[in-house]
Structure 1
């Protein structure tokens, strides 16, 4: 026979069989009142929802978003990363690495430098990259530059040299038939397009050293 003290008292005890009561530590959960659709819509008022969703579907979607709140970042919060799928890179050359893998930063105009600083600071604030210290050994660096499209800037890295010395991955993405098999019994199939999703792909520590970028601000990985 099992007994447990569910009251929010100072001493919480549990009884198992005929044993004497043993004091244990229990987490206390507060049961909230039923959330209404209006309350959740107000909480997610900045979101845009399809007009084809029913009220029941909207309520279920909003509850799912709230339940998985740690998976989403707002503002300058850390983006986090996908767990269990860290990328591993293998080079087909040994140390000492070819000079082409240790590149200096590109010369840049004032406008380009300002945009590089803005992009670098953004990914630093969200813990996507970190600055390399002066006492760390650096063997491979990839220079970055800015590309423009429709008036918007984008930070890019010249990975052509690194690609030439990287062993190819035969299966870089899941095989389509295997993915379809996993969805065979699904009643609903949804997809989520994550903003800056590529920044949430994890990389193993040894592989991070191969992906260090360099600019006028220094070296980051």
Structure 2
């Protein structure tokens, strides 16, 4: 999926298994060169990834606009910045999906094929 951040398109991963929204330092360095000026301190926490060894270096808040035909969704997630991560884009965790009413469990048993929704 593609979202808009600072008026530009960026890759977006919605991960129902993630406990934190994440963005890689390398990705921020490439697309948002001044991001460190707005970096927020992070509390001491034991951060682990099952797929890669990463180092937590702070958090950032970026407005993300998720395009939708019935109206865009604007969110301001606090994303953990990871060094040595291979994520190319923004990963949105479960708590933000629920907070904004995104149905991560398909509770209404709707299935989409193309533009048609089937129940």
Q: Which has the higher helix share?
A: 1
Higher relative contact order (CA 8 A, sep 6+): 2
Q: Which has the higher strand share?
A: 2
TM over 0.5: no
Q: Which has the larger radius of gyration?
A: 1
The TM-score with structure 1 as length reference comes to: 0.15
